[in-house]
Structure 1
Amino acid sequence: MIKVSVITVNFNQPSVTEALLSSLIEVNDYQELEVIVVDNGSEVNKTREWAVQYPTVKFIRSEDNLGFAGGNNLGIKAALGDFLLFINNDTEVTAHLIAGMVGYMEERPKVGMLSPKIHYFDEPGIIQYAGYTAMNFVTARNRCVGQFEEDKGQYDELVGETGYIHGAAMMVRRQAIEMAGPMPENYFLYYEEFDWVEAIKRAGFEIHVNNNLLIHHKESVSVGRNSPLKTYFMNRNRILFVRRNATWYQYLLFCFYFMGLVMPRNIIEYIRKGQYSYIKILIRAMSWHLFNAPNSEYLGFTQRK
């Protein structure tokens, strides 16, 4: 039986992580499994307590918050599985999820990454993800298939190649990681899984979705409120993703689009809402690119402890 390493990252959400561990132990029906929890610099270190409570789980503690990619990459270093399943700590698995993902990837050796269908946990039957469309590198936009729709089985036949996986639940073939490298850590938040998809595609693998498999995600349907952190990294990383993955002429067209439309539109919106400090954050996110290379590890935002 193929060994699977499940990797999840905890940051100041112990009860949420415990609910995930319970679902992996009590609901999951796949036996050849190792579970790895990376505590990403949480204020309260519960790894010693958890090691007693969950003796079959590996716990790794980082004293610093390494971001989404950095935390998951610590898990990769400790993982022994042939397939690695990265799931957010605010998810809960369904019984056949892992076995179904393993079976799908075993039958298709060219598949490097796979995501299942995702439902909102608190909105039963409402889809969060059923695939992604391809990226328009001129606008740096694509569409999440099925999001906010009631699941009536309309995407059950959508099985196969997709534009991108979803970072909340993605199974990755070890061989793909060895050839493409680990998750890029210079994003910290947002777009890192999209960049990883591009690297794994360049390594010769396919990206798939299987909407006959399901996981529940506790992210709210209404999520999306701005914060200084989110505003900075969403804008900085949107530009960074295009710089790292588009052709030079696509990047040039994107710059015209961003400077001519996105930036003025956002500034007008911040003024309308009285969020004047966000204008500085937007400019800071853009100016990062004037002084840093696309592979720079300098984040430009104080977040690591």
Structure 2
Amino acid sequence: MTLAVVILNWNGVSLLEQFLPTLIKCSSEATIYIADNASTDASISYVKTNFPQVQIIQNESNYGFAGGYNEALKNVTADIFVLVNSDVEVTPNWLNPMITTFENEPQTAIIQPKILDFKNKEYFEYAGAGGGFIDKYGFPFCRGRIFETIEKDLGQYDDALSIFWASGACFFIRSVVYNELKGFDASFFAHQEEIDLCWRAHNKGYAVKYNPKSVVYHVGGATLQQGNPKKTELNFRNSLFMLTKNLPKNVLYQRLFIRLLLDGVAALQFLVKGKPKHFFSVLKAHLAFYQYFSSQFKKRATVQNVSYYQVNSIVFSYFIKNGTVFGKLV
């Protein structure tokens, strides 16, 4: 089984300097690629000078996360694509547990490792933690992270299991499945494209897994910080795109309507908290949703996964029932 570790880079020379040496040291089982989204810094010259064994793919423009990987992976041949953010620190033996799972489970198409916080290594990291899920209305959450509550890693999520979505920060996928699904939806640009891809994989009958025997540490927010209004816009917009594409048809409009109302409440909260830029980000997201609804609707698969959600409403469970950790939800 051949592996290609592909790091998407955009003006991230400092991150490559910090994390690439360890990745190379711990990844003898794989061929390593830098997929560069038209950087204007010294990223490419740094890699060529210091790590000539690393393959470089130069995209013609900054296509974002989704389009950037789609373009780059056209040039990669391997059984397994391992997509790794440039701000991820891997650990020894991080690849072997994943190889074993893929070899033993033909229907498993996508796997995520345990993702801990690089800055505070005893805690889970926001983007992925111990595996991702969504609620009935498409709000994502993780084992180890619900909204802003992040748990300490006490071994409570050391069980390998099926999850709904795997984090794009460190994302293992069979190349045949990636190609069958035509990769990420490039219209997302960045944020939640991995959830959409996992949902489409479920619709095809594939499994998505979490394997805690593989551990990585993620800095997070290296491209857009958590409080960035653009990040808010992309998250709200792309979540609506994803629901339009993947919700079961008999509940599509009802759940979209409720989600739009919940988004409106979130927008008002931004305003009350003195964050007008984020308020307008939600408005922009909704305008884009209305503008592109028809084109997103046309992407719907023939069959939708009807048992896609873990809880009815993570908003209600978290804010009303005090379900601040995953163990209180189920």
Residue type of the alignment partner of 1:213: S
The alpha carbon displacement at 1:40 in A equals 1.4
Residue type of the alignment partner of 2:207: E
- C-alpha separation in 1, matches of 2:280 and 2:113: 39
Q: How does 1:59-138 map to 2 (within 5 A)?
A: 59-128=56-125, 129-133=129-133, 135-137=134-136
Residue type of the alignment partner of 1:287: L
Q: How does 1:34-53 map to 2 (within 5 A)?
A: 34-53=31-50
The root-mean-square deviation of aligned C-alpha atoms, in Å, is 2.1
The equivalent residue for 1:236 is 237
The alpha carbon displacement at 1:255 in A equals 3.0
Quick check: 1:176–1:203 contact (8 Å CA) kept in 2?
no
- C-alpha separation in 1, matches of 2:96 and 2:117: 21
The structure-2 alpha-carbon separation of the partners of 1:276 and 1:124, relative to structure 1 and needing over 3 Å to count, comes to closer
Residue type of the alignment partner of 2:130: A
Q: How does 1:1-305 map to 2 (within 5 A)?
A: 2-26=1-25, 28=26, 30-128=27-125, 129-133=129-133, 135-137=134-136, 139-147=137-145, 148-156=150-158, 158-219=159-220, 225-263=226-264, 265-292=265-292, 293-295=294-296
- C-alpha separation in 1, matches of 2:171 and 2:194: 9
- C-alpha separation in 1, matches of 2:208 and 2:277: 39
The alpha carbon displacement at 1:224 in A equals 6.2
Quick check: 1:67–1:189 contact (8 Å CA) kept in 2?
yes
- C-alpha separation in 1, matches of 2:107 and 2:118: 31
Quick check: 1:36–1:75 contact (8 Å CA) kept in 2?
no
Quick check: 1:243–1:294 contact (8 Å CA) kept in 2?
no
> Under a length normalisation based on structure 1, what TM-score does the superposition of the two structures give?
0.87
The alpha carbon displacement at 1:281 in A equals 3.2
The structure-2 alpha-carbon separation of the partners of 1:69 and 1:259, relative to structure 1 and needing over 3 Å to count, comes to closer
- C-alpha separation in 2, matches of 1:121 and 1:277: 29
Residue type of the alignment partner of 1:8: I
Quick check: 2:114–2:212 contact (8 Å CA) kept in 1?
yes
How many pairs does the alignment contain?
A: 287
- Seq. identity, %: 23
- C-alpha separation in 2, matches of 1:34 and 1:212: 21
List per-residue Cα deviations over 1:129-156 (Å, max 9, x = no partner). 11223x333x212420023222222221
The equivalent residue for 1:301 is none
The structure-2 alpha-carbon separation of the partners of 1:261 and 1:110, relative to structure 1 and needing over 3 Å to count, comes to closer
Segments of structure 2 that go 5 or more residues without pairing to the other structure are 298-330
The structure-2 alpha-carbon separation of the partners of 1:89 and 1:224, relative to structure 1 and needing over 3 Å to count, comes to closer
- C-alpha separation in 2, matches of 1:35 and 1:64: 21
- C-alpha separation in 1, matches of 2:124 and 2:242: 26
> Under a length normalisation based on structure 2, what TM-score does the superposition of the two structures give?
0.80
- C-alpha separation in 1, matches of 2:154 and 2:273: 38
Residue type of the alignment partner of 1:161: S
- C-alpha separation in 1, matches of 2:154 and 2:192: 29
